[in-house]
Amino acid sequence: MTHRILIVEDTPTIARVQKHIAQKVGYEVDIAQSLAETKELISKHHYFCAVVDFILPDAPQGEAVPCTIAADIPTIVMTGNIDKHTRDTVEKYPIIDYIIKGNKQAYEYLEKQLYRLPRNKHVKVLVVDDSASTRQYICSLLTRHKYQILQAADGLEALKELESTPDISVIITDKEMPNMGGIELCNEIRRIYSNDEKAIIGISGITSSNLSALFLKNGANDYLYKPFNSEEFYCRLSQNVDMLEHIETIKRQANTDYLTKLPNRRYFFEEANKSLKQFKKAKAPSMLAMLDIDHFKAINDTYGHDAGDEVLKGLAVCFNKYFENQLVARLGGEEFAVFFTELTEQEALKRLESFRLFIELNSHEFSQAQIKFTLSIGFSHSETYQIDELLKQADLKLYKAKESGRNKVV
């Protein structure tokens, strides 16, 4: 979904820079050069957010800010200076942020904020505090930045929320609470989730010099002293969400094949071994297929490696569609594997045969050179709970498929 942004700026060069930044992030952009144009555009369109200049020809006292706020448009204020009068005026309104114009860093920061807003809609934050008024205040700050919000009045309620909503990303917790306090909650969360999976921000109104260290030593990522400044709150929260996102990106890159975007061999082994432990415990048979493109070397030799890459990428798309709930990976070269977790033996064989036939009939659509190719498939079904042994069994079946004419499931 493309979001629409309103840029309110009377200096054309600055407006062009802001427009370029917003379009780079992915927004559809409208520009207003006055308060009158701002009101007219707001009457015609729904805006995801706005970037508003504090001083305009017909709004010298920042009148455009309450205009966008009144229209429920999350607003970033940009201003040439931030003297006490301007700051006091700006902080009267529930804006997202204010940015001082004038240097490259300001526009880099604007780009980060415009990127974060759509992302925040998918980030779940759990607020844990026994004070309803404190929870309400923190939730109001989170709402401005479009976070999804959950609440709990103590540590025990928080753990129940985490159990029912495991994709919570950030927990903001007070220290002093009945039933279970913030320090104990940190310990319990870290017993289940690592720092890479969930970020914890401790908060407290207690004036103790070592409280921040106590939170950090017990698993928190960050700490804020109440009452905290909203700017600092947003900066610390954004940095922690950014950290989780960067770690997730690194993990994804480490576990993903660069060409096909399928899981790679390393990830396949880790996840398959986890499932095999469960299968062994349940005394259930394991099932794995190895799939190989027939005569792939000839494809590369005849059409070139770029065409071969097109074939592999097109095949990967089909894997995702046919084996959506199974563990699929590119093991290397033209060799792929499917580890079955939810199907019966007959269902798995039927799915593999259907996939083989689909590739035979439609493979020419994967590449500009319309290269036709087929697959040979080896399938293993046994009470084997070592991934190396299971792959060896499937590989022997794959070899039989190749030796007996290719383009078949054995």
Catalytic residues, by residue number, are 334
Task: Examine residue 227 and say whether the peptide bond preceding it is cis (omega within 30 degrees of 0).
Answer: yes
Write out the two tokens for 243: 């950290």
What is each CA distance from 92 to 62, 171, 264, in whole angstroms?
A: 11, 28, 52
Identify the sign of the CA torsion 46, 49, 54, 56: negative
3-class DSSP assignment, residue 171: strand
**β pairing state of 375-382 and 286-293:** antiparallel
Identify the sign of the CA torsion 362, 366, 371, 376: negative
Non-local CB neighbours of 136 within 8 Å, separated by 6+ positions: none
Print the SS3 string covering 104-123: HHHHHHHHHHHHHHHHHCCC
3-class DSSP assignment, residue 268: helix
Strand order across the beta sheet in which 75-79 lies? 28-32, 4-8, 49-53, 75-79, 97-100
